[in-house]
């Protein structure tokens, strides 16, 4: 199983090579009071170490699908762990009762989700207009 | 029937055993049949109940699993996309995939929190609102009963569940509805030969009528709700089995499995036929066995009965019952045999006694008869003895009289003998003297006498009639001589007749005796009876002359008396060997044949009383017998009687001695 995954990863890395330069906007539901988030804070949210905002509202992190370049960028820039390790980690967390970041498969979907769900946080391509959301930070 | 039964214990046994068998078998068969009937009905009911349970379980589990699936589907992360309006169509794809994957016959609809249809498993997108009937707020799926599909046409059932975000349990993201066509439910119900009905009992509705499309009446519905074990639908009888389990999802759904009664009763009828067949098959050996048993039981009894009736009818007590076994009947036969033996013995004893009694009776009769005869004989002997005594008495009297008379006669004869002797002896002298005197007178006359003297003499002679005197004197002398001679003869006869010489055997000339007798009887004979004599014997016979003379006297006197008026008596004598035979034949009246046998009996007489004693011939017979001879008599009535006397010339020594 490992070999196809590596191949997929290699392919993904190969394809996303041009995308390394693309920028991601970390967006949040307007109800989120936090003005900005550091990379560490963001990593803590996505690694499920921080589960609520300072005002008490729960954090709903939204991830992109594993194959997407945005996720690769986000993982590299924020989480700093290889995707496999992250997957294993999230699975582990899932078993511990913590919900891993939801997956949306397009920027539009992430945007719509974050727009609708209070406490939601996600990332979209910087090329997308972050309408009706709160942009917390820009990556990288 | 009762008469048929009454004839034999075997039949009674057979009938009762067969009756018992049939009653027992019938009861058993009825019991078995009813048990089997109820058991089969129960098992049929159980099977039907089981089937209906199975069906409701099937539906329930189908619905449950669908509900679980629905619940699981509602938990899918992808459903979060409803929040974002399924911009990626991930939900729609997922639903389509699920439908395909679960081979759902219905459709899945996902509505968002604003009740807008966001996604469905249907190919083309539909723009619709969540129908009110499908609305569900709970997190658990709810079952929506049979209803018309708001998004289609066919009747459906639906399961609906409210969806919340996976990340935030309180965040509602919409409603997931799975719609199943009613045909799917009916497909689950279908199968088997039984008719499956699905109904609801609260606000009663028949949901599925099974294979038949017939309408159901209110009453029939009532029977269904009443869970009647047997009911009629459209006038077809059914056995029903109702589902028993409660399914929270299906609530008041109930399934009833119906089996047509005729089909349900088929095996019961078969059992009934089998029972009848079994009864018949059992009856043959049982009846045979009962028959054999009854024969076995009653056989000895019948044999015994035969023996008893045989004994009763024939009276043959020697019959014995055969003892075949050592059981009660054997004991009975043994006891009977003992009884029969006792009876036989008793009967034999009785017969013996009866025979003895009869013999005794007979001998008694005989003895009485004999005694009577003996008595009669004794009586007659006594009578005859008395008669004999009387006779003897009279004979004795007579004998005594005769003896006295005889002695008298003998005495008279003896006394007369001498005077008669010298009278008789003197007559010749008297004759001589008379003749001399007459001669003298004649000489005197012839003497020469004077005339005077002569004349005087002559005168005298004339006066006395000398001639006459001369003649008459001679006559007188002669007659005197004759008379004397006769007197002498009579006296001689009397002497010889009397018993002076009885005891002595003398050689006598029988003709002399006859002549003596005739002389004595001269008075009776003279001038009446002509007596002719033919004496050829003329020999002396040694006998008791007196007794023989008595015999002659009796017989000749009888002969003379038998002649009334003139007649003749012919007396003949001759010799026949050593017998002297004297026959006396008269020309009298004869002796009747009925009397001729009795003439020698003592005291038998035909003479008047006083004329005869009836002893004459009897005594004569005795005398002749003593002389070793016999008297024969032949007689013809009206012509005469002939007595023939035979006596021995010389008596035999013993007779001599007597």
Spans of all domains in chain B: 1-314, 502-657
Per-residue pLDDT reduced to its tens digit, B467-501: 888 888 888 888 888 788 777 777 776 666 555 44
Q: Contacts of residue B83 in chain A, CB cutoff 8 Å? A: 112-113, 116-117
Say yes or no to pLDDT of B343 above 80.
Answer: yes
Optimal mutation site among B77, B79, B87, interface A, most CBs of chain A within 10 A? B87
CATH number of domain containing A115: 3.40.190.10
User: Taking CA atoms, what residue in B is nearest to A112?
Assistant: B84
* Helix (H) or strand (E) run with residue B164 in it: strand B155-164
- Domain range enclosing A109: 2-139
Give the minimum alpha-carbon distance from A13 to chain B in angstroms, rounded to a whole number.
24
User: Taking CA atoms, what residue in B is nearest to A58?
Assistant: B168
Mention every residue, 6+ apart, whose C-beta is less than 8 A from residue B139.
B71, B74, B161, B162, B164
Optimal mutation site among B167, B168, B174, interface A, most CBs of chain A within 10 A? B167
Determine how β-strand B155-164 pairs with β-strand B630-636: unpaired
User: Taking CA atoms, what residue in B is nearest to A117?
Assistant: B83
Per-residue pLDDT reduced to its tens digit, B243-293: 887 888 787 888 888 888 887 778 888 888 888 888 888 888 888 888 888
In this prediction, residues A89-96 reach a mean pLDDT of 88
Residues 88 through 117 of chain B touching chain A, CB cutoff 8 Å:
88, 90
Residues 364 through 423 of chain B touching chain A, CB cutoff 8 Å:
none
Could you tell me the two tokens for B647? Answer: 């006596």
Mean pLDDT, chain B, rounded, equals 81
Per-residue pLDDT reduced to its tens digit, B417-463: 788 888 888 888 888 888 888 888 888 888 887 888 888 888 888 88
CB contact, 8 Å: B167 with chain A? yes
Judged by CB atoms closer than 8 Å, whether chains meet at A112 and B80 is answered as: no
Question: What pLDDT does B614 receive?
Answer: 67
Nearest by CB to A106, from B80, B83, B88: name it. Answer: B88
Determine how β-strand B172-181 pairs with β-strand B117-120: unpaired
Judged by CB atoms closer than 8 Å, whether chains meet at B80 and A99 is answered as: no
- Residue scoring higher pLDDT (B394 or A112): A112
Question: What pLDDT does A4 receive?
Answer: 46
Per-residue pLDDT reduced to its tens digit, B368-415: 888 888 888 878 878 877 877 776 676 566 556 655 666 676 677 777
Question: What pLDDT does B242 receive?
Answer: 85
Say yes or no to pLDDT of B528 above 60.
Answer: yes
Give the minimum alpha-carbon distance from A104 to chain B in angstroms, rounded to a whole number.
8
Optimal mutation site among B75, B82, B84, interface A, most CBs of chain A within 10 A? B84
Say yes or no to pLDDT of B581 above 90.
Answer: yes
**How many structural domains comprise chain A?**
1
Name the CATH code of domain B502-657 (choices 2.140.10.10, 3.30.565.10, 3.30.70.100, 3.10.620.30). Answer: 3.30.565.10
User: Taking CA atoms, what residue in B is nearest to A104?
Assistant: B81
Judged by CB atoms closer than 8 Å, whether chains meet at B166 and A99 is answered as: yes
Could you tell me the two tokens for B162? Answer: 């409210």
In this prediction, residues B213-228 reach a mean pLDDT of 76
Question: What pLDDT does A14 receive?
Answer: 41
Closest CA to A123 of A58, A54, A49, A73: A73
Say yes or no to pLDDT of A11 above 60.
Answer: no
Give the minimum alpha-carbon distance from A71 to chain B in angstroms, rounded to a whole number.
17
Nearest by CB to B83, from A106, A113, A119: name it. Answer: A113
Mention every residue, 6+ apart, whose C-beta is less than 8 A from residue B352.
none
Q: Contacts of residue B171 in chain A, CB cutoff 8 Å? A: 117-118
Judged by CB atoms closer than 8 Å, whether chains meet at A117 and B87 is answered as: no
CA distances from B367 to B352, B355, B371, B372, B379 (A): 21, 17, 6, 8, 17
Domain B1-314 has CATH 3.10.129.10: no
Residue B113 and residue B109: Cα distance in Å, rounded? 13
Residue B64 and residue B62: Cα distance in Å, rounded? 5
Judged by CB atoms closer than 8 Å, whether chains meet at A113 and B171 is answered as: no
Could you tell me the two tokens for B116? Answer: 């807008």
Per-residue pLDDT reduced to its tens digit, B385-394: 787 777 667 6
Cβ atoms within 10 Å of B651's Cβ, excluding its own: 20
Cβ atoms of B197 and B258 within 8 Å: the answer is: yes
Nearest by CB to B167, from A99, A108, A110: name it. Answer: A99
Nearest by CB to B84, from A60, A99, A104: name it. Answer: A104
Helices (H), B527-605: 545-562, 593-596
Optimal mutation site among B76, B79, B80, B173, interface A, most CBs of chain A within 10 A? B80
Residue B24 and residue B10: Cα distance in Å, rounded? 20
Residue B526 and residue B518: Cα distance in Å, rounded? 10
Nearest by CB to B81, from A58, A60, A109: name it. Answer: A109
DSSP string, B453-520: HHHHHHHHHHHHTHHHHHHHHHHHHHHHHHHHHHHHHHHHHHHHHSGGGTTS-EEEEHHHHHHHHHHH
User: Taking CA atoms, what residue in B is nearest to A99?
Assistant: B167
CB contact, 8 Å: B166 with chain A? yes
DSSP 8-state class, residue A81? S
Residue A98 and residue B108: Cα distance in Å, rounded? 29
Determine how β-strand B579-586 pairs with β-strand B567-576: antiparallel
Residue A84 and residue A9: Cα distance in Å, rounded? 9
Judged by CB atoms closer than 8 Å, whether chains meet at B83 and A112 is answered as: yes
Nearest by CB to A112, from B87, B165, B167: name it. Answer: B87
């Amino acid at each position: 199983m490992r070999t196809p995954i590596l191949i997929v990863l290699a392919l993904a890395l190969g394809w996303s090579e041009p995308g390394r330069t693309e920028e991601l906007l970390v967006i949040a539901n307007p109800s989120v009071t936090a003005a900005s988030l550091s990379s560490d804070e963001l990593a803590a949210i996505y690694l499920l170490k921080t589960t609520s905002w300072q005002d008490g509202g729960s954090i709903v992190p939204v991830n992109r699908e594993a194959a997407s370049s945005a996720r690769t960028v986000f993982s590299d820039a924020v989480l700093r762990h290889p995707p496999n390790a992250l997957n294993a980690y999230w699975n582990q967390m899932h078993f511990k009762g913590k919900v891993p970041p939801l997956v949306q498969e397009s920027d539009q979907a992430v945007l719509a989700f974050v727009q609708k769900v209070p406490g939601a946080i996600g990332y979209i391509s910087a090329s997308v207009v972050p309408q009706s959301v709160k942009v917390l930070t820009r990556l990288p | 029937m009762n008469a048929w039964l009454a004839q034999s214990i075997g039949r009674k046994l057979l009938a009762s055993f067969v009756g018992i068998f049939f009653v027992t078998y019938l009861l058993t068969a009825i019991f078995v049949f009813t048990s089997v009937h109820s058991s089969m009905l129960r098992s049929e009911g159980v099977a039907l109940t089981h089937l209906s349970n199975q069906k409701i379980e099937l539906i329930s589990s189908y619905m449950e699993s669908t509900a679980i699936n629905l619940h699981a589907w509602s938990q899918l992360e992808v459903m979060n996309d409803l929040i974002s309006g399924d911009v990626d169509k991930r939900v729609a794809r997922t639903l389509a995939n699920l439908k395909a994957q679960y081979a759902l016959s219905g459709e899945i609809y996902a509505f968002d929190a604003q009740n807008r249809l966001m996604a469905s498993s249907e190919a083309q997108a539909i723009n619709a609102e969540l129908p009110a009937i499908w609305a569900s707020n709970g997190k658990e799926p709810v079952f929506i009963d049979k209803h018309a599909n708001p998004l289609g046409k066919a009747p459906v059932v639906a399961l609906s569940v409210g969806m919340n975000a996976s990340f935030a349990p309180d965040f509602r993201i919409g409603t997931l509805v799975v719609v199943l066509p009613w045909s799917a439910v009916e497909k689950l119900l279908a199968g088997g030969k039984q008719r499956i009905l699905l109904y609801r009992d609260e606000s009663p509705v028949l949901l599925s009528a099974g294979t038949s499309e017939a309408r159901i009446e209110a009453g029939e519905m009532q029977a269904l709700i009443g869970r009647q074990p047997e009911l009629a639908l459209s006038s077809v009888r059914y056995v029903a089995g109702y589902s028993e389990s409660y399914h929270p999802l299906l609530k008041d759904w109930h399934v009833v499995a119906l089996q047509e009664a005729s089909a349900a009763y088929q095996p019961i009828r078969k059992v009934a036929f089998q029972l009848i067949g079994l009864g018949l098959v059992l009856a043959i050996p049982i009846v045979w066995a009962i028959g054999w048993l009854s024969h076995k039981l009653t056989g000895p009894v019948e044999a015994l009965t035969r023996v008893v009736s045989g004994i009763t009818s024939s009276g043959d007590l020697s019959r014995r019952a055969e003892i075949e076994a050592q059981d009660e009947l054997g004991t009975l036969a043994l006891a009977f045999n003992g009884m029969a033996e006792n009876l036989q013995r008793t009967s034999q004893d009785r017969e013996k006694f009866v025979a003895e009694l009869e013999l005794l009776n007979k001998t008694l009769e005989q003895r009485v008869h004999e005694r009577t005869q003996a008595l009669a004989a004794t009586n007659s002997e006594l009578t005859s003895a008395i008669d004999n005594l009387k006779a003897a008495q009279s004979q004795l009297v007579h004998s005594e009289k005769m003896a006295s008379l005889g002695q008298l006669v003998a005495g008279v004869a003896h006394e007369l003998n001498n005077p008669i002797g010298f009278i008789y002896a003197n007559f010749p002298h008297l004759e001589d003297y008379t003749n001399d005197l007459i001669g003298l007178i004649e000489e005197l006359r012839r003497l020469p006498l004077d005339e005077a003297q002569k004349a005087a003499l002559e005168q005298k002679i004339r006066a006395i009639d000398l001639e006459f005197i001369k003649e008459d004197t001679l006559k007188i002398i002669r007659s005197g001589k004759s008379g004397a001679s006769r007197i002498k003869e009579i006296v001689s006869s009397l002497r010889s007749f009397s018993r002076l010489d009885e005891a002595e055997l003398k050689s006598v000339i029988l003709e002399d005796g006859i002549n003596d007798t005739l002389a004595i009887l001269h008075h009776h004979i003279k001038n009446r009876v002509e007596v002719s004599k033919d004496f050829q014997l003329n020999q002396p016979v040694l006998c008791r002359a007196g007794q023989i003379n008595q015999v002659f006297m009796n017989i000749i006197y009888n002969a003379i008396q038998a002649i009334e008026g003139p007649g003749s008596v012919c007396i003949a004598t001759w010799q026949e060997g050593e017998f002297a035979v004297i026959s006396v034949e008269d020309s009298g009246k004869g002796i009747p044949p009925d009397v001729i046998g009795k003439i020698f009996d003592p005291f038998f007489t035909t003479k008047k009383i006083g004329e005869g004693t009836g002893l004459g011939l009897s005594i004569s017979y005795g005398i002749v017998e003593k002389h070793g001879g016999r008297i024969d008599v032949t007689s013809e009535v009206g012509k005469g009687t002939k007595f023939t006397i035979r006596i021995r010339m010389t008596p035999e020594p013993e007779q001599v001695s007597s």
